């Protein structure tokens, strides 16, 4: 089950491999959409010590950062125990 929280953008670490996939054109389009409608879809992160690691939603995260937002709506993904 996913838990939804408002998370400080400064506490989210983006893995280097994921950061390389950032598309500036897509980032601009998503930022415009967020300005018009707000953040409709939360990103996904997992807990890592005192912070979080991005799982899904790089462009949404970076669009919010570019817009000067301090927080992002995020689903906290927890590993399933087998």
pLDDT single digits (tens) 28-66: 999 999 999 999 999 999 999 999 999 999 999 999 999
Q: What is the pTM of this model?
A: 0.89
At residue 7, the pLDDT reads 96
Q: Residue 6 pLDDT more than 80?
A: yes
Q: How far is 15 from 56, CA to CA, in rounded Å?
A: 11
Site of tokens 């899904």:
56
Q: How far is 4 from 20, CA to CA, in rounded Å?
A: 26
């Amino acid at each position: 089950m996913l838990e939804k929280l408002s998370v400080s953008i400064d506490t989210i670490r983006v893995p280097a491999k994921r950061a390389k996939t950032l598309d500036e054109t897509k980032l601009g389009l998503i930022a415009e959409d967020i300005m018009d409608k707000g953040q409709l879809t939360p990103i996904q992160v997992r807990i890592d010590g005192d912070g979080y690691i991005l799982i899904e939603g790089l462009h949404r995260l970076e669009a919010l950062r570019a817009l000067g937002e301090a927080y992002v709506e995020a689903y906290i993904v927890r590993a399933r125990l087998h």
